[in-house]
């Protein structure tokens, strides 16, 4: 019912030079990339001084949060009412696609010499706690449309950065493809997801209030995701 109005608003924004949702998200993304460049493990990766221990700790830390990915998306799906049926559909599909991802990460961890027992006995780092807590809290709200902003960040990292990280880890540490499954897989899978996301963001079902929520959520998730990478093992 709101569709026509929203579409009209977006079109007007574009015509009048007001920042579109896409522009605003792009700004959040640029800020995130600048912050990522300063994350210690990623700057060591870029410099080629990263160690196998760094890769192992990164997988270990990511795993503790990745296992929560599908649950918060599922929870969000259950909080979309019938007026947001398309978002519910997308969330259900997305949750299903993601809910086995952590197994890939676990196999990578074992393939480089770690054990499943120690990995599964791990706890979230400070950043992961904050990120996961925020996501579940947000997903509990009625019609948590802002989570599209969270997806924009998380899927964006998978689609645009993970494969590059994987390639660089392979180059520096001499790893086989089967030791970087998780990061390589996300290039393709998350590109599909970001394609789906773009379709939703430009479909006209997002009104101004929703756009503000999406941008705010993207800002918070970007900061907390970087915090997760900064706070490895803490």
Residues that bind another protein (CB under 8 A): 52, 111-113, 170, 173-179
Nearer to another protein, 84 or 181 (CB): 181
Nearer to another protein, 167 or 200 (CB): 167
Per-residue b/e over 117-138, b at no fewer than 16 CB within 10 Å?
A: eebeeeebbebbbbbbebbeeb
- The nearest distance, CB 176 to another protein, in angstroms, is 3
Nearer to another protein, 175 or 217 (CB): 175
- The nearest distance, CB 108 to another protein, in angstroms, is 9
Nearer to another protein, 109 or 138 (CB): 109
Nearer to another protein, 22 or 112 (CB): 112
- The nearest distance, CB 50 to another protein, in angstroms, is 12
- The nearest distance, CB 113 to another protein, in angstroms, is 4
- The nearest distance, CB 128 to another protein, in angstroms, is 25
Nearer to another protein, 167 or 205 (CB): 167
- The nearest distance, CB 41 to another protein, in angstroms, is 18
Between CA 101 and CA 154 the distance in angstroms is: 14
């Amino acid at each position: 019912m709101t569709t026509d109005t929203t579409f009209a608003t977006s079109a007007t924004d574009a015509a009048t030079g007001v920042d579109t949702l896409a522009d605003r998200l792009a700004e959040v993304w640029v800020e995130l990339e600048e912050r990522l460049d300063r994350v210690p493990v990623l700057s060591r990766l870029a410099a080629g001084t990263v160690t196998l221990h760094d890769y192992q700790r990164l997988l270990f830390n990511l795993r503790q949060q990745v296992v929560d990915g599908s649950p918060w998306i599922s929870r969000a799906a259950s909080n979309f009412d019938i007026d947001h049926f398309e978002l519910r559909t997308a969330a259900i599909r997305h949750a299903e696609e993601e809910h086995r991802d952590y197994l890939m990460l676990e196999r990578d961890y074992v393939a480089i010499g770690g054990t499943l027992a120690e990995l599964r006995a791990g706890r979230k780092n400070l950043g992961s706690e904050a990120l996961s807590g925020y996501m579940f809290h947000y997903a509990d709200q009625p019609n948590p449309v802002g989570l599209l902003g969270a997806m924009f960040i998380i899927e964006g990292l998978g689609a645009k950065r993970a494969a590059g990280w994987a390639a660089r880890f392979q180059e520096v540490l001499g790893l086989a493809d089967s030791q970087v499954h998780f990061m390589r897989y996300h290039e393709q899978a998350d590109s599909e997801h970001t394609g789906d996301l773009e379709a939703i963001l430009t479909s006209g079902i997002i009104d101004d209030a929703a756009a503000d929520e999406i941008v705010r959520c993207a800002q918070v998730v970007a900061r907390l995701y970087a915090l997760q990478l900064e706070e490895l093992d803490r």
